[in-house]
Structure formats: structure tokens, C-alpha cells
Structure 1
Amino acid sequence: MNIYVSNLSFSVQDEDLKEFFAPYGEVTSAKVIINRETGRSRGFGFVEMTDEAASQKAIAELDGKTVESRSISVSVAKPKDDRSSRNGDSSGFNNRNSYNENRY
């Protein structure tokens, strides 16, 4: 199961994230997402665990837990396709209301 973890301290590394979940079962991967421009953590990450029951227990017990003075949020990660765009328009930047088409 893929797990989404947010509100992480900027000092949390991949290995730290893995250690948070290891007591609940086998962690196949743990990745803190890094900002490409700054090289700093973006404050969230993903954890993959093999056992669904262990994953559910980890989510239930770690959600809201304080880690490095921050209350983390832990939930089942949603696939990219299930998330809506930020502005609610799924057609992206080059839609029919594009600046370039309405310019002339």
C-alpha cells in the first residue's frame, strides 16, 4: 500500500521516514519529496508497505502524531489520476480559453 505523509519537518530524510513506519511492518520504500530548485524537502513524502493490515495500523497510529515538533498527517495515497487539478480545470494550460487564442 502507498501511504502519503505530510507536514514533515524539513530536516526529515528518506531513512527517517522509513524508521517511523518500520515498527508497523516491512517498508519497501520511503521517499521525502525534494524541491528541484532549492534541494530542500517540500514537507511531504510517500511510504510503501507490503502488508495492507500493517499499513492501515500505521496510518491509524501515526496520523496526528508529533514528529520533530510537527503534527504529521498520514493517509492512503491517491493515484495521480484521482487528484483534480489545482484550478479545477482538467484541460491544463492550453485550453480553449487560453491567452494566446483570445489575444487577436
Structure 2
Amino acid sequence: MNIPPRYTYCVMVTVVLTVIAYFISPTIAVGILVGGLISPLFAMCQPTSQQSVAPVASSTAQTPAKSFSVAAATSAEQDETVIISRADYTGDVKTIYVGNLPYRANEAAIRKLFSEYGLVLSVRLVKDRDTGKRRGYGFVEMPADAADAAIAALNETEYLQRTLKVREANEKKEVLKPEDESSNSAEL
């Protein structure tokens, strides 16, 4: 059995602390000894997050099947991926509108779905302001070339028994505030 070096280090530190604690109180020393030898074993069972995920180039992206399963959506919650924010990305970014989403789909599942076509910078699923429930649509930000590949591949595909509507998002329109409208009418 391979014993990792960090467990050996934990055992040495535990023995030193136990000897010091023995002079203060033997009960505390026993607690430190048991805790110091058992707790590192639980840490060894945890998966390490030292994996790095490189962005997938759009030319090498493969077209997935037209239907996605529930298992693919739930496994997305368990995967660890490196998330790059839009502020850290310096290239051209496109915002993609994703409509007709199943209400049970969450941000992690949508990120996993779109990450097959390239780097996903952000996922925002719109929720109802009063109830907090998802409204069935959202927005995904991706680099421009990866966004085009994702739109072409995912539009009109079935995802969790719903046919997705995927297209480039419209720009936000500036809304005039009521005080702006009154000041414009007074000038005429």
C-alpha cells in the first residue's frame, strides 16, 4: 500500500503534539493522537483538485448525439472544471441565448453541455423575482468562435426531453427613465 508523504508528515506532527499535550493533560493527548491519526485518512479519500482543464478548440470539437440523457446533466454537478471569468478573458466574447430549458437544469449542467464546444466564461439562468424558480431560459458567454460552433450544434437539439432554442443574444436596449422623457418633452 502506498502511503502518501503528507500522511507521514501528519503522523509526525501528531506524535510531537501528543507528547507536548501529555504533560498538560493525558486526556487531551489521547484526543490529539486519535484525531491526528484518523483525520488525515479521510483527507486521502478526497479527490484532489490539481487537474487543469484546457479549453477545447472549436475545430476539434466533435458533434454529440442529438439527444442528451439525464445522467449527463447530473454528472455535470460532480465534475470539477477550471472556470475563467469574462474579466480574465481578453478575446472576442459572444452572448448566447438558450431558450426552452428544462426547469430542473442548473448552471453546472448547462456549463457542461456548452463546454463540449469550447471555453464557457459564464452561465446565467434567469429566475423569477418573486418565486425564485427558473424561468426556462438563460445566457451563456463564450469566445466568438466557440459560440458559433455551439449555436450550430445545439440549436433544435433535445436536452432532457425539451427542444433547445440556441441563438446569439440580442443586445440590451437602453430604456429611457421617466425623468428623461419629461425633460425631453419640455424642450420641444
**TM-score > 0.5, shorter chain as reference:** yes
Amino acid at match of 1:31: R
Distance in 2, Cα, partners of 1:80 & 1:54? 22
- Structure 1: 4+ residue segments shifted above 3 A: 90-93
Contact 1:34 1:42 in 2 (8 A): yes
Q: What SS does structure 1 have at the residue aligned with 2:130?
A: coil
Q: What SS does structure 2 have at the residue aligned with 1:57?
A: helix
Higher helix share: 2
- C-alpha spacing 1:71/1:92, structure 2 compared with 1 (3 Å): farther
2:121: which partner in 1? 28
Deviation (angstroms), 1:36? 1.3
Amino acid at match of 1:23: E
- Higher RCO structure, 1 or 2 (CA under 8 Å, sep 6+): 1
Distance in 2, Cα, partners of 1:80 & 1:61? 25
1:15: which partner in 2? 108
Cα deviation 1:76-97 (Å, max 9, x = unaligned): 0011118xxxxxxx8799x8xx
Query: Which of 14, 31, 38 is 2:131 aligned to?
Result: 38
1:78: which partner in 2? 170
Amino acid at match of 1:57: A
Sequence identity of aligned pairs in percent? 34
Distance in 2, Cα, partners of 1:54 & 1:35? 29
Cα deviation 1:61-90 (Å, max 9, x = unaligned): 0001100100010000011118xxxxxxx8
Distance in 1, Cα, partners of 2:95 & 2:106? 18
- Cα RMSD for the two superposed structures: 2.0
2:98: which partner in 1? 5
Q: What SS does structure 1 have at the residue aligned with 2:152?
A: helix
Structure number, greater radius of gyration: 2
1:98: which partner in 2? none
* Count of residues in Structure 1 that have an aligned counterpart in Structure 2: 88
Distance in 1, Cα, partners of 2:176 & 2:117? 40
Contact 1:17 1:31 in 2 (8 A): no
